[in-house]
Amino acid sequence: MRTRSRLRTSLVIAGLVAAGSFTGVPATAQTDRPDTGPVMSTALASGDATTAANSTEASIRSFWTEERMKSAKPADATPDSKASATAVTEAAGAPVTVAPAMPAGTVSSADASTVNPSAVNTASNWYGSFWSPPATTTGRVFFTHADGTYRSCSGSAVNSEAKNTVFTAGHCVSDGQGHWHTNWVFVPDYYYGYQPFGMWVARELGTLGAWFSGSDFRYDIGAAVMYDNGGKLVNTVGGQGIAWNQPHGLYVHVFGYPADPPYDGQQLKYCEGYTYSDPWSGWANLGLDCDMTPGASGGPWLAYFNGTFGYVNGVNSYKYSWLPGSIYSPYFGSLAGSLYNLVRYRY
């Protein structure tokens, strides 16, 4: 476990804005399947009959009563088969504006293909300030699943020109069978029902085509464009950076709200460690020793983390039943950058 400095509690949240994305070095040269490009939802039609005729921002916010939020089941994601390698070839990053300190030159790492999951990293309560990122930028997500059930995930506010972007997992925005989830809200800094920064309603959802229509876990990345709620999301809670085409084997901090036992989804948890390549995805995806459970889906994997800000370089996506102490993320390649570039200007 690395030595970490405690966060300062005097930071003004509204002024905390981290970087956009930056160009890095691909981990491998791979070939994408043809249906992988980003896709966006066209409406916020409600999945609940009582609000289907009035699916407005206000109605969605009022839809999520305390009782409904308590009844929301954590979104689960388990690969049905072992995927083969695919993926991403070119960097498509945007300039860094404000960012954590970065190593000079190319970021390098050891060959992570030789690292095997072993020790179980038990998720711990986040030790930092409740009033500073990453606590304020991470939150619970609630939505009506395409099958009509109420579900929960996790997500992270990400800096963008529009200041209204949340990144999460693809299965937290779509069922992977061509249907969008509805009544989608983000509650940053959630703590046992407390909502210090309110509830933010999505007006658009996005993911990659290979997840939307094919449930391909190599592309299980999602994004949401949020309505204002007395101001812009990132101006209110802060925004993490985002990076793609980075090497495997980076040291990351992983955040989320795991809701299945032994966790209850009521407070922010984290793990940390070096990522390794997932052999069952053809070495395409990333793994980490961490025992977070469903409900943590969509929580950010922060690389180059300085105790407050980092770069979202993965999201909690899936677990294997025979490896309960490991959690996995799709590799953030050029298509993750394409999704970000699609949503970053959507005011």
Percent above pLDDT 90 for the chain: 68
Residue 164 pLDDT > 50, yes or no?
yes
**What are the pLDDT digits (tens) for 213-258?**
999 999 999 999 999 999 999 999 999 999 999 999 999 999 999 9
How far is residue 191 CA from its own chain's centroid? 18
Give me the CATH code for the 19-343 domain, please.
2.40.10.120
The answer to whether 255 touches 302, Cβ cutoff 8 Å, is: yes
Is the previous residue joined to 133 through a cis bond, with omega within 30 degrees of 0?
Answer: no
Say if residue 262 is exposed, middle or buried (CB neighbours under 10 Å; 0-12, 13-18, 19+): exposed
Mean pLDDT for 195-219 is 95
* Residues 101-154 pLDDT 10s: 333 222 222 222 333 444 568 999 999 999 999 999 999 999 999 999 999 999
pLDDT computed for residue 115 by the predictor: 35
Percent of the chain at pLDDT > 70 equals 74
What's the CA gap between 230 and 237, in Å, rounded?
Answer: 12
**In this predicted model, what pLDDT tens digit does every residue of 147-158 receive, in sequence order?**
999 999 999 999
* CA 43/CA 205 separation, integer angstroms: 9
Q: Tell me: the pLDDT tens digits for 317-342? A: 999 989 999 999 999 999 999 999 99
Query: From the centroid of its chain, how far is CA 203?
Result: 18
Name the β-bridge partners of 329: 286
Q: Is the pLDDT of residue 90 over 50?
A: no
Distance CA 31, CA 85 (A): 8
Q: Which element (helix H / strand E) includes 273?
A: strand 269-274
Q: What pLDDT does residue 11 have?
A: 23
- Helix (H) or strand (E) holding 73, with range, is strand 73-74
Mean pLDDT of 66-83: 78
Q: What is the pLDDT of residue 116?
A: 42
Report the half-sphere exposure of 130 (CA within 13 A, side-chain side): 8
Distance CA 179, CA 169 (A): 15
* 209 SS3 class: helix
State the Cα–Cα distance between residues 94 and 51, nearest whole angstrom.
39
Distance CA 27, CA 334 (A): 11
Average pLDDT, the chain: 79
Question: Contact at 8 Å (CB) between 221 and 167?
Answer: yes
Using the predicted structure, report yes or no on whether residue 94 has a pLDDT greater than 70. no
The owner of tokens 């966790």 is 263
CB 332 within 8 A of CB 246: yes
* N residues, the chain: 347
Can you read off the two tokens belonging to residue 40? 């966006």
Give the whole-angstrom CA distance, residue 138 versus residue 155.
6
pLDDT band of residue 41 (cuts 50, 70, 90) is confident
Task: Identify the CA nearest to 7 among candidates 133, 123, 98.
Answer: 133
Residue 243: predicted pLDDT: 97
Domain ranges of the chain: 19-343
pTM given for the model: 0.80
